[in-house]
Homo-oligomer: A and B are copies of this chain.
Amino acid sequence: MSLIVQKYGGTSVGTPERIVNVANRILATKAEGHQVVAVVSAMSGVTNKLIELADQVTGEGEPTEREMDVLLSTGEQTTIALTAMALNSMGAKAVSLTGAQAGIETDGVHTKARISNISPAGVHELLDDGNIVILAGFQGKTPDGKITTLGRGGSDLTAIAMAAAIDADLCQIFTDVDGVYTCDPRVVPDAKKIDEISYDELLEMASSGTKVMQSRSVEFAKKFGVRFEVRSSLNNNPGTLVKEETMSMESVVIRGVSLERAQAKVTISGVKDLPGSASRIFGAVSEENILVDMIVQNVSKTGITDISFTVHKDDVAKAEAALKPVLAELGDGAMVGAEDGIAKLSVVGIGMRSHSGVAAEMFKALSDAGINIEMISTSEIKITVTVSEAQIDEAAKVMHAAFGLAEA
């Protein structure tokens, strides 16, 4: 008998019929002799409806975050009750728990609270008593009883944190894909599902466009050593196991290829190459909460340089507006300009650490295919380049083939 934590997202529980399907799946796991804690999200669409109501009652003003949490947490509470009663109607012993009832304590930062402590005694008691526990994702309470929510990806976090707290044997994240792929199969048809991946590789893939899970949950799992499996709620295929890295993982140089479209390059030219220039630029941009990615500074000629960075193309206007007021401080003829229609291509793999020449191989393959690279940035286990957005699919296919990922 194992102790298994499962997590089902908003799409998996999006209709009454799907809730019944999820209940069947939970029941099948229980029937195999396991103890089950199932974390569920709000039914898809519910959260948006609640936000709309909040907007309607507050008019011009922003809804207060304390009350937003009270409001949004009803979404998961609805799902836990429906899932538990579906299981009950199948003859199973199941009880629902809100985040607060399950002992999930957080700090008081409403709408993006951090889990500070989990007291799982109640969960253990219910499990030992033969119950399936249906737990509301995304929510917790402060030590003095206020309702909080965990922000984006909060239900994944609930599952992983609860798996850590109750020392579960396995945590299964059910989603609408079969697992983590070597590349997006819509782009590279022979992309393969990855059987095992390290936390760090998944983190780098997530940060470079492979949207399987929020980095925050993966980081939490890494910190507490929670193994988890990303798998589909639509079939019974095994998924991708995410875990600490092993020696054997290093034999694979590249684990996967990520791509991110709709990027733009913002360039500030005529910048005096003086200490403080970069901090002025990125200070101004970050104040607008714009996510900046690859940053490249040209070699300085006669004390004047260009600084470029990538942003999502929707953020270009905001970034330019934020930069205009500081241009005068950067240099006499400093100017800001932008170019969109670019995309980012990343290769990720912990094997890179012990294999040299990965960058050279990457650049050669792209060059052989006639694909021009503009910006380059590297981390210990990732190399990212920008290419024309029109060539990104071709570039991904070339990378996938060059590193033999289809044969993996």
Contact = CB atoms under 8 A, between A and B. Distances in A.
Interface in A172-221: none
A249 interface: no
A88 B64 contact: yes
A52 to B, nearest CB: 9
Contacts of A58: 85-86, 88-89
Contacts of A68: 81, 85
A78 interface: yes
A142 B88 CA distance: 21
22 contacts: A16-B53, A16-B57, A20-B57, A50-B78, A53-B82, A54-B85, A58-B85, A64-B89, A66-B84, A66-B95, A66-B96, A67-B82, A67-B84, A68-B81, A68-B85, A70-B81, A70-B96, A71-B81, A71-B82, A74-B74, A77-B77, A101-B147
A303 interface: no
A276 interface: no
Most buried by B among A59, A63, A64, A80: A64
Interface string A132-157: 00000000000001010000000000
A320 B280 CA distance: 87
Contacts of A88: 58, 61, 63-64, 67
B78 A63 contact: no
A78 B53 contact: yes
Contacts of A122: 145
A56 interface: yes
A64 B84 contact: yes
Given A63-B85, A67-B96, 4 more contacts: A20-B59, A57-B85, A64-B85, A74-B81
Contact of A57 (B19, B53, B61): B19
Nearest to A17: B56
Contact of A89 (B59, B74, B86, B101): B59
Contacts of A67: 81-82, 84-85, 88, 95-96
A83 B147 CA distance: 16
Interface in A1-48: 16-17, 19-20, 23
* For the complex of A and B, 4 pairs with smallest distance between CB atoms: A61-B89, A16-B56, A71-B81, A70-B81
Contacts of A60: 89
